[in-house]
Amino acid sequence: MIVMKFGGSSLTNSGNIKNVAEIIEENRDRHPVVVISALGGTTDDLLQLKEHALAGHADICMIRERHDSILDELGIVTQPEGWNDLWDELNSVLLRISFNMDRADMLEGQLLSIGERLAAKLLAALLNDRGLPSVSYDAWDVGFIEISDKLVLNNPDLLNRIYNCLHKVTAAESPIPVITGYIARKCDGKITTLGRNGSDLTASLIGAALKVNEIQYWKDVDGIMTADPKKVNSAKHVPLISFQEASELAFFGSKILHPSSIKPAWDNGIPISIKNTAAPDRHGTTIVLGLPDESPGIKAITSKRNVTLVDITSLDMVGQYGFLARVFEIFRDLKLSVDLMATSEVSVSLSLDEAHSLPQLKDRLEKFSRVNILSGKAIISLIGHVSQTTSILQQVFVTLNNSHIEVIMISQGMSRANISFVVDDENVTTCIQQLHNCLYDLQQPVAMKSSNINTQNRDTIHA
Ligand code: ASP
Ligand code: MG
């Protein structure tokens, strides 16, 4: 059995939706469980409708016309069951939002759910028309209920519930289930979402619950690249990557996978494949448990922008214990999550990607330390099986020095899957281009132009 998840970028028009149906057909012997996002752009359109409703007038015509004409173009003559009910529900939610503005956020989950629910009905109808028996399910009918605000990913109750609901409908001769990604019901029964691009997570949880052989993410790209092709023309395709590398990539800026979606598959050792709907025969990228030792080197370079740095120094703490505990208590209280960290005996530098509560943070830290907060920074991460750290760092610093890019902080974990450093945000593109050039394109040691390398490097650990 496999899980096949199709993202919105694979569902933008009748042409690529037909490709999706063909791909499912070709894999029918592997007993696919299909997870689907809303048609490309629909979630954004629904969010826009919410704004229009708040402003007093929301019109569903455009979004309805788009879906109806795709049904027409696909030759689906019988409207899927419940199709009209969903449009009525959309109208009624928008009306409630415009009359109950203060409850708009509570109704947002229900509003956004319509996109995935329409898409699942549409695809199941198409598969049935093509002679492939298929049934659409809303996520809450297959166990995605009682979801708390902070979804605990290894929650065995959730996985058991999904298993209990799905194992009956995924027996060998059952129709293919087409399940809505992204949406769920909370403990109070209200509809919620798993966060933008959350269908990846739905697919991974279903894969983990059913212990499938493979989880496939079908997108509009061939998989993971050595760098963002929009920044680096010569970016190369990465065929194989470990779970650890993939999760570092997802957390440190690659948009290819929802960061939380890796864990359920990883915990259960289920390989993930990223494939291109427009070129299904190409290899894509496979994420696996362990990589052979002979695959060292940097797999990819990513960037995370708009990062804030917090530099904390406390001379009172020389020889004392508890400094970091005191610092982290404050971060926990303010719900600030730390990405990178570099420490010494009396000081610590941290990076944050959410810049909320900074005045309170400064206030509390200044009770026992000197604090400097810098915004407009970016994290560049080199992800891979970094077995020759020293020589890689040498190449990195020589390259950056030659390009006059200053490194403000550096962090490398013992796990050696990630070397990250912080630069000014304005240097990101040059930095990635130069590093890609040196690490992938030149494939030979770079010569230093001058020895003036300026970093605030200290003993580092990776947060
Ligand atoms: N449709 C949702 C979004 O656009 C969920 C997803 O695509 O996975 O974020
Ligand atoms: Mg998406």
Verify whether ligand 1 is closer than 6 Å to residue 177 (CB atom).
no
The residue whose CB lies within 8 Å of the most ligand 1 atoms, and thus the one to mutate among 37, 123, 179, 180, is 37
Q: Using 50, 70 and 90 to split pLDDT, how confident is the model at 249?
A: confident
Ligand minimally distant from the alpha carbon of residue 181: 1
Verify whether ligand 1 is closer than 6 Å to residue 181 (CB atom).
yes
Identify which has the larger pLDDT, 136 or 250.
136
DSSP per position, 82-129: THHHHHHHHHHHHHHHHH-GGGHHHHHHHHHHHHHHHHHHHHHHHHHH
381: nearest Cα among 260, 462, 289: 462
The residue whose CB lies within 8 Å of the most ligand 1 atoms, and thus the one to mutate among 35, 47, 197, 201, is 197
Q: What is the pLDDT of residue 317?
A: 66
DSSP per position, 354-408: ---SHHHHHHHHTTTSEEEEEEEEEEEEEEEE-S-HHHHHHHHHHHHHHTTPPP-
If you average pLDDT over every residue of the chain, what do you get? 89
For the record, the structure tokens of 376 come out as 């407009």
Residues 6+ apart with CB under 8 A from 327: 312, 348, 365, 369
Whether 39 shows a pLDDT value over 80: the answer reads yes
Q: What is the pLDDT of residue 171?
A: 80
Verify whether ligand 1 is closer than 6 Å to residue 198 (CB atom).
yes
Verify whether ligand 1 is closer than 6 Å to residue 8 (CB atom).
yes
192: nearest Cα among 138, 262, 123: 138
Whether 416 shows a pLDDT value over 70: the answer reads no
- Model pLDDT for residues 437-447, shown as the tens digit of each residue: 988 876 554 55
- Residue closest via CA to ligand 1's atom 2 equals 197
Q: Cα dist. 374→245, 308, 309 in Å? A: 28, 6, 5
Verify whether ligand 1 is closer than 6 Å to residue 128 (CB atom).
no
**How far apart, in whole angstroms, are the C-alpha atoms of residue 336 and residue 88?**
41
Greatest distance between any 2 Cα atoms in the chain: 77
Q: Are 413 and 382 in contact (CB under 8 A)?
A: no
- Model pLDDT for residues 101-157, shown as the tens digit of each residue: 777 788 999 999 999 999 999 999 999 999 999 999 999 999 999 888 666 666 889
Least confident of 3-12, 325-334, 336-345, 413-422: 413-422
Q: Using 50, 70 and 90 to split pLDDT, how confident is the model at 375?
A: very high
Residue 346, sorted as left (phi over 0), alpha (psi -120 to 50) or beta, turns out to be alpha
Q: Distance from the CA of 213 to the center of ligand 2, in angstroms?
A: 23
- Location of structure tokens 């007093």: 56
Whether 455 shows a pLDDT value over 60: the answer reads no
pTM of the model: 0.86
DSSP designation for 137: E
Verify whether ligand 1 is closer than 6 Å to residue 420 (CB atom).
no
Verify whether ligand 1 is closer than 6 Å to residue 6 (CB atom).
no
Q: Distance from the CA of 125 to the center of ligand 2, in angstroms?
A: 21
**How far apart, in whole angstroms, are the C-alpha atoms of residue 455 and residue 453?**
7
Atom in ligand 1 nearest the alpha carbon of residue 181: 8
Whether 159 shows a pLDDT value over 70: the answer reads yes
Whether 253 shows a pLDDT value over 90: the answer reads no
Q: Cα dist. 206→153, 209, 270 in Å? A: 11, 5, 11
**How far apart, in whole angstroms, are the C-alpha atoms of residue 422 and residue 419?**
11
**How far apart, in whole angstroms, are the C-alpha atoms of residue 271 and residue 132?**
26
Q: Distance from the CA of 120 to the center of ligand 1, in angstroms?
A: 13
Q: What is the pLDDT of residue 152?
A: 63
What domains can you pick out in the chain, each with its CATH number?
2-220 (3.40.1160.10), 298-442 (3.30.2130.10)
Whether 359 shows a pLDDT value over 90: the answer reads yes
